[in-house]
Structure 1
């Protein structure tokens, strides 16, 4: 069995949203201070002994989260009126793959609060 390496970067952003297909408080406009963690995974290291330079992962994640920062997420077409934490994680994954396509993104975590998070695992990968 070969070794697996994982690296993680973290960023945060503040945004507003409401959930159109929800019956409760969250159907009203409100905001969160989101925290995002993104993980890359692989089994090979480069000549420098790294899976991926943290700076590359962190820079791309910050660019993606800056696009969401201080926005009403309902105004972004991707969410179609329901910017749940699960869809935010999916959106961030998709944007990261476009920014750094050769990076094996393994997992995206989106925290709406310190206690509540959604996880996106591409291709149904298992943790």
Structure 2
């Protein structure tokens, strides 16, 4: 199995629902996003998936979140836009776009700061 990882980022505001503390107030982050996919085989060019494709698909999804108030966007109108839920959302959206017989999204990490990261995988 081959593993490929790209890094990206977006900036957005949110507040945590059902939270007791400062993060229940409106605030923002410059989130860093890491996406890891697995590929069983390489194509004729020796690639599992072109990094250009992986970066563009990630960018397209992140554009829907960038410089927005996340609490107003589906699916976060019903679910708190925590880093954990953002990671799951990105994982699911990327899986819809990228998964095939050879390539699978394996993990999405969402860093809300240099020191705090949430990850989502499906087993």
- Name the TM-score, length of structure 1 as normaliser: 0.89
Equivalent residue number for residue 117 of structure 1: 117
Moved over 6 A (4+): none
RMSD: 1.1
Query: 1:19·1:81 contact (CA, 8 Å) conserved in 2?
Result: no
Equivalent residue number for residue 31 of structure 1: 28
Q: Distance in 2 between matches of 1:53 and 1:97?
A: 16
Higher strand share: 2
Equivalent residue number for residue 70 of structure 2: 73
Gaps of 5+ in 1: none
Q: Distance in 2 between matches of 1:100 and 1:35?
A: 20
Q: Distance in 2 between matches of 1:46 and 1:24?
A: 50
Equivalent residue number for residue 89 of structure 1: 87
For residue 81 of structure 1, report the CA deviation from its aligned partner. Answer: 4.7
Aligned residues: 120
Higher helix share: 1
- Name the TM-score, length of structure 2 as normaliser: 0.92
Q: Distance in 1 between matches of 2:74 and 2:51?
A: 30
Deviation string 1:63-114 (CA, Å, 9 cap, x unpaired) is: 1111100011101121225100000001111111222232310110000001
